[in-house]
Every structure is written in structure tokens, then in C-alpha cells.
Amino acid sequence: MPQKTLGARPPEALPPREPVAPLVARNRLLLAILLPLAVAVLVGLVTGALLRRGDVATASAAPLFAALGLVSWLLGLRFYGLRGLGLRGGRPLFAGIGFAVLAWVAVLIGRFLPGLPQTTFNPDGQAVVNIRLLVEVMAIRSAGSGRAFAYLLLFEAFAMQVWAFGLVFRALADWRGGLTAAIVSGILFGAVGFALFAESFVTGLPGLCYFLLWGVLYGLIRLRTGSLLGPTLVQALQSFTAWFVFQPPDDMAATGIQTVFLAISLLFAIIIWRLWPRREGDYRI
């Protein structure tokens, strides 16, 4: 007798995607990338959010991310529906959380990465060995934490992921396949994050590598699980704990943040290697 599955269906029983003509898929892709960005840039110029880097405490980039997410949401519902955008709960949600937690752990490892030991001598002539973090924790911050987490969850995480791993991912998957969609949407996520996220403290190649690999990692999670909800939640928790609760110095250029970004990027690359799909049957678009 067939066993009950409590209403769940195996992946092979899910309805197949409807084929999309290549010209239609290409036009949808151009619209998915350009229209949300154009509206976001316009809103950013009007409100001034585009002229300053995002700040968690003041939610300065909220109008820009809100415009990006809202336009992406409306376009995505029109073209693909909720499931097509990757807004899936159940097993895809928990699988996405599990994979994204690996990235969160990698960031926390880098956040508490120690520097080289330094030896000083006290007044009695005894040597004292000090080991400082590359990015010191100036305070355990709690003031404004509710507002900060709401900003990170709704704007930097959800709005960005609806655009990159919802709308753009699905349009790319219809045009060029799932793996291309995961990589390109991840690069777009990383590029915008490098320009606008509050944790983009310094410019330079290490920071760019950090954001691009972070994006590609989330793109692979979207490809492997079919859901963006898990990474969205973990992204907010990751940024909140690593860079808001454990408050870094104001002058990040004087710290070892570049080394921290490189170390985290290496861990991201290892996770990407382990998550890389070996066959097309691993895709959950």
C-alpha cells in the first residue's frame, strides 16, 4: 500500500515549469534587471539615499531598498507567482536555513579572528603577551536593536533577495538555465551589497571578493533548495550579530577588516565548492 506523506509531494511530483520562448525570457530578464534598478536609483536620488552608504542605525538606505523590492515583487507576481519567486516554506525553507547558517558561522569565525601576538613589558620588567582581534569589539550593543534588525530583515535581506534571487534568478533560469542564474544573480547581489550594505566598511578587492562570494553562495542555496526565505532570515541574523551587536570601531580602515574579509571569503569558497551541484537533478528552480 502507498504510504501517507502528510500532504507533501516528492520533488519529482512537483508541476514542471512551463516552457518560455527564448525571446520572451530575454525580454523578461532585461526588465527584471533594469526596471527595479532604475526605480531604486530614482528614489535614491530623490531621497538622497543613493548619495550615502547605508547605515543600520538610521536606516538611511531604506527608501532605495524598498523601491527595489516593491518593483521586483510586483513584476515577480505578474510573471512567476509566489513559488516562482522562491517564496516557499516547508522543507525548502529549513534546507535554506541549514545551508545559510554555514555562511553565518563563517562570518562569525572571521569576526573573531585574532591578530598576531604582541609582547609588551610591565613596570616590573615582565613580558605580557597580548592577542587582539583584527576587528575589536568595542561594545555589546543593544540600544536600537529592534529597529536595526527590522531594517536588516526587511530591506537589506528581503528586498534585495526578492530582486536578486527571486525575480532575476527566475528570469535567468528560464533563459540560460539554473546554474547560470545562481552565479549571475549572486554577482548582482554582491555588487549591490558592496555598494550599499552597511557592512561594506571599506573599498578594495578583499571587500569586493567577500560580497561577490557571499552572493554566489546564496545563489547556489537558492538553486539547491528552491527557496530564498531561509537565506533571507539568516542574512539578517548574520549582519545583526556580527556587525551590530558586536559593535566594531568607527574607523574600520585602521583595523584588520581587509584580512577578515579575505578569511571569510576563503571559507565562503569552501562552502561553495561543497554546495556546487553535480547534476541537473540537484536543481530546485
Q: Look at residue 80 in the predicted model and tell me its pLDDT.
A: 93
Percentage of the residues of the chain whose pLDDT score is greater than 90: 68
Residue 142 has pLDDT above 70, yes or no: yes
Give me the mean pLDDT over the 13-41 stretch: 85
Q: Look at residue 58 in the predicted model and tell me its pLDDT.
A: 65
How long is the chain? 285
Residue pair 37/168 in contact (Cβ under 8 Å)? The answer is no
Strand positions, DSSP E, the chain: 118-121, 127-130, 139-140, 246-247
pTM for this structure? 0.90
Q: How many helices (H) and strands (E) does the chain have?
A: 11, 4
Instruction: Pick 54 or 149 by higher pLDDT.
Output: 149
pLDDT per residue as tens digits for the range 29-76: 999 999 999 999 999 889 887 776 666 766 778 899 999 999 999 999
Q: Look at residue 54 in the predicted model and tell me its pLDDT.
A: 60
